[in-house]
Amino acid sequence: MDDLAEQPSRRKYEERHKSLAKRTHNLLMDVIKRQHFELTHDSHIPELLNPRGFEEIVIPATEMFLQEGDQVVFGFIDMDKMKAINDKYGHPKGDEVIKMLAEVLQKYFKRETDIIALNHPKEGEKPQGGLARRGGDEFLLAIALTDIERVKMFLQDAKEEFEKEAQKITPEIVPSFSFGLASMREKLEEIYDRDKIQEGNLAVSQIEAVDAEPSYLMVSALQVAEMRMYKDKSERGQART
C-alpha cells in the first residue's frame, strides 16, 4: 500500500524534475545564443555582423559556391569626409552618419538567412548578402550568384540615397562613400594562370589545394577590393577626408 501511495508523488517529482531540466536547458541555450550573437555582431550596430561573424557565415558559403562553380563578389566600403564631419559636428554626429550608412546598405543588400544568397536574385530584386562592419566607418560585403557590374549598380543607388539622407544630419557637408569590388572568379583565374607557369615544379592539384581554400579566396579578394576602394577614393579626391 505504501508503494501505491508513493507513486503519485514520485510522478509529480519526476514531472517537476523534467520541467525544471527543460527550463534550465532553454535558459542555457538562450545564454549561448546571446553570447554567440555578441561575439559575431557589431557592438554599436548589432544589426550588422562584425569581422568574426562575417567570416563565420561567408567562408562556408564561399566553399559551397566554389564547389558548385558559382560566383561570389566581395566589397570593401569606406566613408568619405569622416574626419571633416567629426571636426565640424563632433563624433556623436559622425556616429549617426555611420549608422545611416549601415541602414542604407542593409536596404540594398539584405541578409534574410545565415547563409548568403542561395538563389539567383530575380531581375530588379535586391541581392542577399553578408554585410559586416569592419570597424569605424569601414564595411565588408559578400554577395553570391551575381556579377560585379550588378553589385556596382546597387552600390551607386545606395550611395545616392545615403548622400541624400545623411545630409539631413550634416547639412553643410555631403557625406559619401568609396568602394571597391573583387570577385572570387578573378582570384581563381589568377591561381590557374600561375599553375600553368609552376606546374613543372609542383603538381597543379597541390597548388589548388592550398590556394583555392575559401578562407584564402575571401581574404585575397577583400584585399583586392580594398585596393580598388582606395583607388576610387583617390580618383574622387577623397583620399585625405
Tell me, what's the pLDDT at 79? 94
Winning range, highest mean pLDDT, from 129-133, 162-166, 223-227: 162-166
Closest CA to 109 of 133, 130, 132, 123: 130
Residue with more model confidence, 23 or 3? 23
Question: pLDDT confidence of 25, banded at 50, 70, 90?
Answer: low
* 191: pLDDT strictly greater than 80: no
Residue 109 in grid coordinates: 543588400
Question: pLDDT confidence of 63, banded at 50, 70, 90?
Answer: confident
Question: pLDDT confidence of 114, banded at 50, 70, 90?
Answer: very low
Residue with more model confidence, 240 or 202? 240
Tell me, what's the pLDDT at 202? 34
Closest CA to 143 of 104, 115, 107, 172: 115
Residue with more model confidence, 226 or 204? 226
Most distant CA pair in the chain: distance in Å? Answer: 93
What is this structure's pTM? 0.74
How far apart are alpha carbons 11 and 184 in whole angstroms? 60
* 188: pLDDT strictly greater than 80: no
DSSP state of 79: E
Q: What is the mean pLDDT of residues 142-157?
A: 85
Winning range, highest mean pLDDT, from 34-38, 46-50, 82-86: 82-86
**The CATH number fitting domain 51-235, selected from 3.30.70.270, 3.30.365.10, 3.20.20.70, 3.90.245.10:** 3.30.70.270
Residue 61 in grid coordinates: 558559403
Tell me, what's the pLDDT at 86? 95
Q: What is the mean pLDDT of residues 143-149?
A: 78
Q: What is the mean pLDDT of residues 52-78?
A: 82
* 73: pLDDT strictly greater than 70: yes
Q: Residue ranges per domain, the chain?
A: 1-40, 51-235
Question: pLDDT confidence of 100, banded at 50, 70, 90?
Answer: very high
Closest CA to 151 of 137, 165, 131: 131
**Do residues 232 and 180 touch, judged by C-beta distance below 8 A?**
yes
Q: What does the buried/exposed string (b/e) look like for 142-178 if buried means 16 or more CB atoms within 10 Å of the residue's CB?
A: bbbbbebeebeebbeebbeebeeebbebbeebebbbb
Q: Lowest mean pLDDT: which of 1-10, 109-118, 216-225?
A: 109-118
